[in-house]
Structure 1
Amino acid sequence: MTPFLVQHHSRLSVDEAWRRLTAWERHADHVPLTRIVVTTTPPTGVGTRFVARTGAGRAVVDDVMEVVAWQPPSGTTPGRCRLEKRGAVITGWAELEVGPHGAGPQAAGSYVVWREVLRVKGQPRLADPLMNRCGRLVFGRVVRRLLGE
């Protein structure tokens, strides 16, 4: 499966955009029927684990994730984070990058790039394009709302 991609520009500073996008539990505020629980102690870094539980009643799916790369933004260096999906039903990965929008004194706000490969056990490859489209729509909305835009 090819990754889906979400790109966004924000008026927020790089540090503030990074802080909001890596507040994992807040993602659930913008995904219907989802709750996120961080299962490791703060602060976030390599080894942080969390579970996004989506569904209702007995129809629930756990998306178990672990941070495997963590580089917060610093000066002109973008922040980068990689999550590995380690669940029994959902696997794949997500990469998040947040950096300054523009160069030098013209820089204003920040940019966000979210790349993700999402695999669901038993899903035929024929469904990959639909899954990617849904992923772009859902995560595009999550990014915009977390950034308050």
Structure 2
Amino acid sequence: MARFVLTRRSPLTAEACWDRLTDWPRHGDRVPFTTVRADHGSGRQVGDTILARTRVGPLAFDDPMEIVDLVAPGPGRDGSCRLEKRGRVVRGWAELTVRRLHPEGGTEVTWTEQISIACFPRAVDPVVACSGRAVFGRVLSHLLS
């Protein structure tokens, strides 16, 4: 499985960062040929599912994800959301965390993902990780801007 970690700092509050990170349709704004939506539920509770659909012409695949752990940031509490990827093409997990920075203020956001893509041998994991850092780095920067 390919693994990558992205970290960004933002002057936004933890709550504002959280709202942007869990605005699932905005994730698709920077992933080519992909739309993202809450498929079951609001996308803000354990058990809800998120669906990323990628389509290029007649070729398409779904990346269904289930929220298996979710703690919104609150007073004295950081936020985290763990998604399990349950598709036939993309498997693995992603974890988004929001941490308040004290005493300087602002927030640190970390996106950690471990994925495997069907039919891709492990030998290409470094390429998958590099691609993930590039694509999801753009997504994260977009969400926090």
TM-score (normalised: structure 2): 0.95
Structure 2 match to 1:117: 114
Give distance in 1, aligned partners of 2:104 and 2:87: 39
Give distance in 2, aligned partners of 1:53 and 1:10: 28
How many pairs are equivalent?
145
Q: Please tell me whether the aligned partners of residues 2 and 128 of structure 2 are also in contact (alpha carbons under 8 angstroms).
A: no
Q: 1:101-138, CA deviations, whole angstroms, 9 ceiling, x for partnerless residues?
A: 2x2xx231100011001111111000000100111111
Q: 1:74-123, CA deviations, whole angstroms, 9 ceiling, x for partnerless residues?
A: 1232101100000011100000100112x2xx231100011001111111
Q: By how many angstroms is 1:3 displaced?
A: 2.1
Asked whether 1:17 is paired with 2:17, we answer yes
Give distance in 1, aligned partners of 2:110 and 2:37: 24
Structure 1 match to 2:143: 146
Amino acid paired to 2:27 = H
Task: Give the SS at the match of 2:40.
Answer: coil
Give distance in 1, aligned partners of 2:40 and 2:81: 17
Gaps of 5+ in 2: none
| Worse-superposed segment, 68-77 or 124-133 | 68-77
Give distance in 2, aligned partners of 1:76 and 1:132: 33
4+ runs deviating over 3 angstroms: none
TM-score (normalised: structure 1): 0.92
Q: Please tell me whether the aligned partners of residues 5 and 113 of structure 2 are also in contact (alpha carbons under 8 angstroms).
A: yes
Amino acid paired to 2:104 = A
Structure 2 match to 1:49: 49
2:131 pairs, out of 131, 134, 145, with: 134
Give distance in 2, aligned partners of 1:97 and 1:108: 16
Give distance in 2, aligned partners of 1:2 and 1:66: 19
Give distance in 2, aligned partners of 1:133 and 1:67: 25
Structure 2 match to 1:33: 33
Identity %: 41
